Structure 1
Amino acid sequence: MSDYKGFMKEKTAIDALIQDGYRIIAVKETLEGDFIEFERHLERKELHLLTADARKYIGTILIEAKRGGHIDSYGGAFEQAGAAGS
């Protein structure tokens, strides 16, 4: 799979979770990629990101969430995305 296709697959999965009301509660970086933990109410899901672009995308979401911005063009609201480690 090309890097672009891999990124688009991971971005779509991230956007779908955020659009469904999940928020990011934890980011664990490893040599095998990033593990992003999402939560909605008491339900949790984990997403394993392998592409550098998807990891940068998560970073952008978290930074904008800290700034109190909106993520409408990314498929949800930053308020829903939350912020890891806060």
Structure 2
Amino acid sequence: MSDYQDYMLEREKMDYMMEKGYKIKDVMENLSGAFVQFEKSKDDAVTIHIKTADGRKYFSNLILLQNRSV
């Protein structure tokens, strides 16, 4: 799969979580990518592994947008 296709899949997953009312709670980055934790409530959390550079840029923008709306 191409990097662009990988990025589009990651973006779709992140957009889906945001549409369902999840907020980005935590980000842990390492050499294999970033693990972004989405949380709706204390008992409802999902972690997505973001591997592409464009995916990392995208969730950074989501964090900025999320912080502006608070």
TM-score, normalised relative to structure 1: 0.75
Q: For residues 43-54 of structure 1, what are the structure 2 equivalents within 5 Å?
A: 43-54=44-55
Aligned to 1:33: 33
Residues 23 and 66, structure 2, Cα contact 8 Å, conserved in 1 = no
Return 5+ residue gaps in structure 1 as ranges: 69-78, 80-86
- Fraction of identical pairs, as percent: 36
Q: Once the two structures are superposed, what CA deviation does each residue of 1:2-58 show, in whole Å capped at 9, x if it has no partner? A: 111000000000000111111110000100100000111221110000000010000
TM-score, normalised relative to structure 2: 0.90
Alpha-carbon RMSD across the aligned residues, in angstroms, is 1.1
Return 5+ residue gaps in structure 2 as ranges: none
* Bigger share in strand: 2
Following superposition, which runs of at least 4 residues in structure 1 exceed 3 angstroms of deviation? none
Aligned residues: 69
Q: Does 1:67 align with 2:65?
A: no
> Which of 1 and 2 has higher RCO (CA within 8 Å, sep 6+)?
1
